[in-house]
Amino acid sequence: ILNVEQSPQSLHVQEGDSTNFTCSFPSSNFYALHWYRWETAKSPEALFVMTLNGDEKKKGRISATLNTKEGYSYLYIKGSQPEDSATYLCASLGGATNKLIFGTGTLLAVQP
């Protein structure tokens, strides 16, 4: 994988559903993986930054895991609420440069 890819592109769930999405990134020369939450008409807000293989981070109902050997990270939302509706972005930081490469995001819509 040369770029950062996120799937699915969009997701519609009902309130209370648990959901997850994927971020794939180049596994060679990996340094850090960022997750951001971006609500419409606002700026992206940081959720997590992970660096170690096997890292798991949690913030309330949102958690993330990291597999640096195979180059993927999962973001999980437990019991989705309408206020979770946003675009979720991941970004990969390579070790050779200090460039942050973003994926195109997963748009989550939670129906009440």
Partner 1 sequence: EAQVTQNPRYLITVTGKKLTVTCSQNMNHEYMSWYRQDPGLGLRQIYYSMNVEVTDKGDVPEGYKVSRKEKRNFPLILESPSPNQTSLYFCASSLYPNQPQHFGDGTRLSIL
Least Cβ distance, residue 2 to partner 1 (angstroms):
12
Instruction: Compute the distance between CA of residue 44 and CA of residue 88 in angstroms, rounded to an integer.
Output: 9
Of the pair 14, 52, the CB lying nearest partner 1 is at 52
25: phi then psi, degrees, rounded to nearest 5: -145, 160
Q: Is position 93 an interface residue for partner 1 (rule: CB under 8 A)?
A: yes
- Each residue of 79-111: b (16+ CB within 10 Å) or e? ebeeebbbbbbbbbbbeeeeeeebbebbbbebe
What x-and-dash track marks residues 25-64 binding partner 1 by CB under 8 A?
A: ------xx-x-x------xxxx-xx-x-------------
Q: Candidates 14-22, 60-68, 76-84, 96-104 — which segment interacts with partner 1 by CB under 8 A?
A: 96-104
Could you tell me how many residues of this chain bind partner 1 (CB under 8 A)?
23
